[in-house]
Amino acid sequence: MKNNCIVIGGDHHNTLGVIRSLGRKGIKSDVIIISDSRHSYVAKSKYISSFKVLQKSEELTQYLLSNHQDKGHKVIIICCSDLVASIIDRDSDKLKDFFIFPNSSHGAGSLTAIMNKRLMLDLAVVKGLPVPKTWDNPNDVEFPCFIKPLVSKDGAKSDIAVCRSKKELENYLGLDHKSRDFQIQQFIEKDYEFQLIGLSLNAGEHIIIPGVSKIIRSSETSNTGYLSYQSLDTIGFKYSKECSDYLKAIGFSGLFSMEFLRDKQGRDYFMEINLRNDGNSICVTSAGINLPYLWFRYNTVGLSAIELDSKVSVTKRVLPEFDDFFLLRRKKITVSEWLKTLITADCYMEFDKHDVKPFFYRIWQLLNHKY
């Protein structure tokens, strides 16, 4: 079994988590970072075989074809951002003879199409998943409302907002945003957010969802937060079949996550699906189920019945330590809360005692504004 795996994403804990998950299994990754930065902290990981930074995302396909073709076997790709997943999907016809990557049985461009949240939610309704009320016309909106980029890869976290009046919505829409198109949804008074982080095989015919990540404390600087990863049975989730039907309808193969909100009355709402490795997926590895490695094994030697039925039996607390420190600086949490969380966490998104250089280099970046 050749240890060829290409991990592609931003200079971010999502990419780093995949590199470390594979590294724990003896696989050193070829890593491609899409970034303007000259100071990659991900590059400091000891689990990297080769490293390349591309400043222009449109260079990715040609770079892969020029530098990573192996006519002896297909090389496995793991995508760690929506932008990368979309590029690989759109150019899949050029890449499919040389690489194995997340894909749809419906052909090139299918995954990019479903990244449009209107299509994403329309399919959810068809498959029986409950969704928040959505408005296309700003004049029809009920307040408060939640607004976010219609296509995640075209937007930024700063484009996400809650508007509590028509004037706030008008002011928001009048600002300059990275995204040009938005989705306006009913604002749900949530009890908590949760994610199903999993692996879909053979166009959705077999789905591995080992457990659920439940957000304990949200971050203000990213889409993650301090979370608990636990058995799916612990939250009484009722829509597992509908989630499987959704993935089958897409014909999807690859790593994914499905995001939900549970409101104060205990009702669940499907929010979106990510058709690539999720930024929180290190929590699954921490609980003993290494999804990036399972994707690698499936496409090289296959999976055993036990691996195909992977379920977590433990609960792990996972901390995005830099994001949480920002909450402390903003006085959103107390020093005692922060210290308790820091000490009791089972896993960290940046720090790994077996791979410490990225963590300390990231601190150097933050102190010296080298991003």
pLDDT tens per residue, range 77-127 = 999 999 999 999 999 999 999 999 999 999 999 999 999 999 999 999 999
Classify domain 5-103 by CATH number: 3.40.50.720
What are the pLDDT digits (tens) for 131-179?
999 998 888 999 999 998 988 888 777 788 899 999 999 898 888 887 7
Distance in angstroms (rounded) separating the CA atoms of residues 273 and 257:
6
Distance in angstroms (rounded) separating the CA atoms of residues 338 and 327:
9
For 352-367, what is the mean pLDDT? 96
The conformational region for residue 251 under phi > 0 = left, psi -120 to 50 = alpha, else beta, is left
What are the pLDDT digits (tens) for 239-267?
999 999 999 999 999 999 999 999 999 99
CATH class of domain segment(s) 190-368? alpha beta
State the burial class of residue 72 (Cβ atoms within 10 Å of its Cβ: 0-12, 13-18, 19+).
Answer: exposed
Domain boundaries, the chain: 5-103, 133-186, 190-368
CATH architecture of 133-186: 2-Layer Sandwich (3.30)
Distance in angstroms (rounded) separating the CA atoms of residues 160 and 150:
10
What tokens does 209 get?
């969802």
Q: Do 298 and 324 form a contact (C-beta atoms < 8 A)?
A: no
